[in-house]
Amino acid sequence: MVRVGALDTHVVDEGAGAPVLLLHGSGPGVSALANWRLTLPALVAAGRRTIAPDLIGFGQTVPPTDHRYTMESWVEHVVALMDVLDLDTTDLVGNSFGGALALRLAIEHPERVRRLVLMGSVGVPFEITPGLQTVWGYRASVEGMREVLDTFTYDGAGITDDLAQLRYESSIAEGADQRFAAMFPAPRQRWVDAMASHEDEVRGISAPTLLVHGRDDRVIPVATSQRLLELIPRADLHVFGQTGHWTQIERTDEFNTLLVRFLDGQG
């Protein structure tokens, strides 16, 4: 646990070397470790100090009950965490909702972002998908969690009853379901809109950027990454076929290889 302002923040901090900061998505029951458990070992093995915080309201980072969830509060928290950890500059990887935060950091604090990776990222306008409605509209139950997990993947492969039970338990631990319900209440299109950055600001991003997306993503449409490719000057896009929203889990080995190569300046 790391004290960030008035908030105890849970952080996975492993390995040594050039830092890389991982920002997770916004699924129910998510935490840094759940999101990045298959990515962390690859980055540590590649000689990286790998840092993955639980963002405000997720995992073990629990704000006061009257906390108001906004993009500004999430971004400010990440910047303050970087200050506490003495991260003057870092490589930055954002997944989905975490991608929108990473995008804002690259816009507002360009001097602190060396290389940028956006995975299935929010950050430009789009009409909310039925899949994202399912994720943000989650009502705590094993069946509801199974529906969310199926939505994240291309064909539901690997989604077992045991996994649904485990993630369900995470989604209700210590009031996590109440915090999640307070983040993205209906009507939910407004939260997609709140996470979108202005196109002129996105065009100003100077960091080399890797965009990664599953072609068959039912949560965040691949068109969002295609639009970011058009806007960010130094961007490349890799699209995985027969892959949903969980590229780092559905295509673990290929994703980790791609990520390490890019961060090492080889792609």
DSSP for residue 189: H
Is 217 catalytic? The answer is: yes
* Residue found under tokens 């923040």: 9
* Residue found under tokens 């039912």: 218
- Name the phi and psi angles at 237, rounded to 5: -125, 130
Amino acid (1-letter code) at residue 166: L
Is 162 catalytic? The answer is: no
Is 245 catalytic? The answer is: yes
Query: Which secondary structure element, helix H or strand E, spans residue 247, and what is its range?
Result: helix 247-250
For residues 21 and 51, the answer to whether their CB atoms sit within 8 Å is yes
Q: Of these residues, 10, 91, 217, 225, which one is catalytic?
A: 217
Q: Of these residues, 96, 121, 170, 171, which one is catalytic?
A: 96
Distance CA 131, CA 150 (A): 10
Distance CA 185, CA 234 (A): 35
Q: Give the pair of three-digit tokens for residue 81.
A: 């965490």
> Which residues are part of the catalytic machinery?
96, 217, 245
